[in-house]
Amino acid sequence: MSDLSNTWFAERLGDHGIHSRYLQNHHPTHMPCLEIRRLDWSHAAEEAKRLLMRLVAVWAVEIERQDDSTQLYTYMALAHGEHRHVLLRTPINQEKPEIFSITQHFISACRMERNIQDMFGILVKNIPDARLWIKHEHWAEDAHPLLHDFNGKKPITPDPERLHIDYDYVPCDSESVYAIPVGPVHAGIIEPGHFRFLAVGEKILNMEERLGYVHKGIEKSMQGRTAHEGLKLASRISGDATVGHSWVFAQACEYAANITISKRASYIRGILCERERMVNHIGDIGAICNDAAFAFMHLQCSRLREDMARLHAQIFGHRLLMDSITIGGVTDDLSRDSCQRIIQQTRDIAKEVEHLREIYADNPSIQQRVIGAGIVRTNDAKDIGLLGYVGRASGYYADERIEEAYAPYDELKVSIPQGKLGDVATRVWVRFEEIANASQMIIQWLETLPEGDIQTPWLAPKAGVSGFAAIESWRGEVVTWVRFGSCGTVARYFVRDPSVMNWLGLELAVRTVPVPDFPLVNKSFNCSYAGHDL
């Protein structure tokens, strides 16, 4: 990351009369931050949109002052393909906590702004959807869990009057339209989420999501932990993306402490991340086919995924690669024999996946189900900011491995599948392409694995120092911001999983498809409940 991105954006803001204060010299932080006036908040977002920047995240924090008082801030992270990341913040009036919405400029900001209202009690003015998002009816109305005076260990006493409040779903009074409520408890063993369909016959007119049923309090629980304790928690945010969430947390801490990990450690992190990408794509391709009654593909993909998980357990100590990344590097080194075993299995699985791909492509039944199903157009994908394979299938190609070019991706050419049609078939095609590309990178890193240590000594930064990082996990971009307090512990923490963006795309994708196709379209997105309900 570079100061140039903030300098470039500060100049653009200045051209439009928006004064920004450059905090690098005043606020010790790895990634400089621009502070702007609260009244300029929405105008800054408007200028970012004009400059074709994309919204990465919006969040709030409460920062302790030296006199033991606190100050609320809202933060905005933006990205530009050429100028990389930019951080903005603005102070919130403590007596009248409010901020103007930026949803009119960035659609995906809306749910994050609703989260700010729920968690901090900050009024977001002009927000198009002011309904509660994370705080369901069992929460007390005045409870704001991320404020410093909220006691997370004290049991919540539900307000009996609030338990009868109905969530205001999009209504339809037409006699020919009926509603189908699905969840939050599902027949399968999955996490809870509610889907409210409006349909005519079997055609879906609208689908509305309601999530947040298993809000875990991750951000609050992170406070007071050491970096290593925090990493253990971060790695368990979403179990199928443990490498992505571990890496981004570790990297944010490393940026804050101004330490650089060894080249060998960065190679092993890349290997872990791309193996995680392969194993999840393989499993999801099988699950998508299973939802279209193509059981053969499901069985074969399950077998390959199991083979990878068993080798992970043997070499890294965990089937899902849990706790393989540590602050300053990686936990386990790779012997020459381990390298050869991973190389051989990666080659064998990549070859077998290509054979399965031919079988999949030659099966007319599965092709009839996936082609043209669940379409998200390119303009919609850009407006929402869809990430990962979902965005790439719809012609939106944001990828941190190229935009941020962090090690070890800075040393090789990352090939990005460029889909355009945005349907289930294209999302499956992108997954096949990413499996092939990931296998090539894994083999290249293993064959050129440099010598050296796998861990750089960790020294916690001073109180008040923060770090921001973004990693391209298998679902897409994961971002984390960490601020350190006294004794090297985490004072404040924010994380944004790619599913926060991609859940919005699913609502668009199911419009006009038959109701029985919802599981197929849903699985082609495979958004994370756990990564959302933080």
For residues 483-494, average pLDDT: 93
Is 358 domain-assigned? yes
Mean of the per-residue pLDDT values of the chain: 91
Q: To which H or E segment does residue 62 belong? A: strand 54-64
Most confident of 17-21, 28-32, 91-95, 446-450: 446-450
Q: 30 in a domain, yes or no? A: yes
Q: Give pLDDT, residue 24.
A: 54
Res. 83 pLDDT band, cuts 50 70 90: low
Residue 84, pLDDT score? 79
Residue 429, C-beta contacts closer than 8 angstroms, at least 6 positions apart? 393, 417, 419
Identify the band that residue 31 occupies on the pLDDT scale cut at 50, 70 and 90: low
Q: Which domain holds residue 77?
A: 4-125
Cα–chain center distance at 201: 35
The pLDDT-based confidence of 205 (bands split at 50, 70, 90) is very high
Residues in Cβ contact with 463 at an 8 Å cutoff, skipping those fewer than 6 apart: 484, 485, 486, 491
Query: How far, CA to CA in Å, does 14 sit from each of 2, 17, 45, 76?
Result: 20, 5, 13, 17
Distance CA 399, CA 79 (A): 11
- Asked whether residue 149 carries a pLDDT value surpassing 80, the answer given is yes
E strand intervals along 294-341:
325-326, 329-330
3-class secondary structure for 112-181?
A: HHHHHHHHHCCEEECCCCCCCCCCCCCCCCCCCCCCCCCCCCCCCCCCCCHHHCCCCCCCCCCCCCEEEE
Instruction: Flag whether pLDDT at 160 surpasses 80.
Output: no
- Say if residue 29's pLDDT is above 50: no
For residue 5, is pLDDT > 80? Answer: no
Instruction: Please report, as a single letter, which amino acid is at residue 21.
Output: R
What average pLDDT does range 73-85 have in this prediction?
A: 86
Q: Of 95, 125, 155, which residue constitutes the final position of a domain?
A: 125
Contact status, residue 273 vs residue 240, Cβ threshold 8 Å: no
Residue in 132, 135, 134, 141 with CA at minimum distance from that of residue 159: 141
Residue 185 pLDDT: 87
Question: Using alpha carbons only, how large is the chain's radius of gyration in Å?
Answer: 23
121 and 171 belong to one structural domain: no
The answer on 264 and 171 residing in a single domain is no
Q: Give domain status of residue 389, yes or no.
A: yes
Which residue matches tokens 């930064």?
Answer: 461
Report pLDDT for 376: 97
pLDDT band at residue 165 under the 50/70/90 scheme = confident
pLDDT higher than threshold 80 for residue 448: yes
Residues 368, 433 within the same domain: yes
313 lies in some domain: yes
Mean pLDDT calculated for residue range 261-275: 98
38 Cβ neighbours under 8 A, 6+ residues apart: 90, 91, 92, 93, 99, 100
In a domain, 325, yes or no: yes
Structural domain total, the chain: 3
Q: Which of 457, 481, 507 is the last residue of a domain?
A: 457
pLDDT band at 3 (very low <50, low <70, confident <90, very high): low
| The residue type at 105 | H
* Among candidate residues 74, 103, 125, the one where a domain is terminated: 125
Residue 51 belongs to a domain: yes
pLDDT of 1: 46
Residue showing tokens 């279209």: 292
Q: How many CA atoms lie within 13 A of 186 on its CB side?
A: 11
- In this prediction, residue 143 has a pLDDT band, given cuts at 50, 70 and 90, of confident
Q: Say whether both 299 and 179 belong to one domain.
A: no
Confidence check: pLDDT of 420 > 80: yes
The 3 state secondary structure assigned to 177-198 is CEEEEECCCCCCCCCCCEEEEE
Residue 141 falls within a domain, yes or no? no
So what's the pLDDT on residue 27? 41
Question: 34-55: per-residue pLDDT in tens?
Answer: 898 999 999 999 999 999 999 9
CA distance 172 to 414: 47
Q: pLDDT class for 26, splitting at 50, 70, 90?
A: very low
225 pLDDT more than 90: yes
Asked whether residue 300 falls in the same domain as residue 180, the answer is: no
Check whether 164 has a pLDDT greater than 50: yes
User: What CATH number did the domain enclosing 190 receive?
Assistant: 3.30.390
Tell me: do 92 and 204 sit in the same domain.
Answer: no
Q: Is the pLDDT of residue 359 over 50?
A: yes
327 and 398 belong to one structural domain? yes
Q: Is the pLDDT of residue 66 over 90?
A: no
- Domain CATH for 348: 1.10.645.10
Tell me, rounded to whole angstroms, the distance of Cα 48 from its chain centroid: 21
Residue 18 belongs to a domain with what CATH number?
3.30.460.80
Same domain, 72 and 189: no
Answer whether 352's CB lies under 8 Å from 301's CB: no
Residue 243, domain member (yes or no)? no
482 pLDDT more than 80: yes
pLDDT at position 509 over 70: yes
Rounded percentage of the chain residues whose pLDDT exceeds 90: 77
Instruction: Give the lowest-confidence range in 58-62, 154-158, 172-176, 186-190.
Output: 154-158
Mean pLDDT value of segment 488-496: 95
Reported confidence tier of residue 171, pLDDT bands at 50, 70, 90: confident
The structure tokens 């393909």 sit at 81
Weakest-pLDDT range from 27-41, 177-191, 418-432: 27-41
Tokens of 140: 């007390």
Instruction: Express each pLDDT in 453-469 by its tens digit.
Output: 999 999 999 999 999 99
**Same domain, yes or no, for 312 and 383?**
yes
Check pLDDT > 80 for residue 17: no
**352: left (phi > 0), else alpha (psi -120 to 50), else beta?**
alpha
pLDDT at 23: 64
Confidence of residue 501 (pLDDT cuts 50, 70, 90): very high
Asked if pLDDT for residue 81 goes beyond 90, the answer is: no
